[in-house]
Amino acid sequence: MAGFWQRLLGTSTPAAAPATTQPLAALQVDMHSHLLPGLDDGAETVAHSLDLLRELRALGFTKLVMTPHIMGDFYKNTPEGIRAALAELRAAAAEAGLADVVLECAAEYYLDEWLGRKLADGTELLTFGGERRYLLLETSYLNEPLNLSGTIFDLQAAGYQPVLAHPERYVYLYNRFSEIERLRQEHGVLMQLNLNSLAGYYSPAARHVAEKLIDGGLVDFVGTDTHHLRHTAALASKTIKSAHFRKLMALPLLNNTL
C-alpha cells in the first residue's frame, strides 16, 4: 500500500543501494588456499573441495591458486602429487558446472631443513605468477627460525620471489613490527595477509598486526587460507564488515595481476 500512495501523491523514498553480492570480486584471484583434496589439513574429499569452491566463487573469485602444505615428514607432498590432485579437482569442477573458475596450484613451503635440502639439490619448487616465480613460505608460529635470512637469500639467488604467508600470525614477531618492515623493505620479501585476520578469527593480536600492516601499506597479496567452511563463513559474515576491509582493498594488491 505504501507504494500505491507514494505513486498517487507523487512522493518517493530513495532507492536502497544494491548490496554487493560478490565482495571479493575486485581481487579476482585467491592465491592461498587448501582446497586440493586429501593432501593436508584442508579439504579431505573432492566433495568437500567442491563445497569450498562454490563458496569462494560466490564471494567473487574467478581464479584459485591452491597451495597445499609441504612440510618435512608431516606433509610430504610432491609437485607430481599436487598436480594429480589438481587434475582430479578440475575434472570434478567441470562436471559440477564450476569450470568458469580457473584452478591452478602452487604450494605453501614450511621453512625447515627439508626446504634447504630441496634448494641445495635443485628440486623443483612449485610457484605461482608465471615467470615472476612467487614462492609462498611459512615459518613456525611460535619459534623464530634461525635460518630465515639465509633461506630468503638462497631462494632469491635461485630465482624465486619469496612471499611470506600471514606474517600477522607469527607470535615471535609480535612487538617486533620493525622486523616485518625490514623483511619487506630491505630483503624484498612480499607479504601475504590472511583476510580472516581482519575479523579476529585467529586472535586479537593477529588482527592488531594485520591492521598495522594495512595502515603501513605493507600488504602485497591477500589470501583466504581456506581449509574448511568455517573459513568461508567468516569471510562472508565478518571479514567483509571489518573496519579495515575497505582500507585493505584500496591498497595496490597484486592478486589481480596473477
This prediction has a pTM of: 0.91
CA of 237: how far to CAs of 67, 106, 167, 192, 232, in Å? 24, 28, 23, 22, 9
* pLDDT 10s digits, 14-25: 333 334 589 999
- Domain residues of the chain, as ranges? 23-257
Q: What average pLDDT does range 127-136 have in this prediction? A: 98
Any idea how long the chain is? Answer: 258
Which residues in the chain belong to E strands, given as ranges? Answer: 29-30, 63-66, 69-70, 102-105, 108-110, 134-138, 161-165, 190-194, 221-223
3-state secondary structure of 133: coil
* pLDDT 10s digits, 157-188: 999 999 999 999 999 999 999 999 999 999 99
pLDDT band at residue 5 under the 50/70/90 scheme: very low
CATH code for residues 23-257: 3.20.20.140
Element (H, E) at 212: helix 204-215
For the chain, give the mean pLDDT. 93
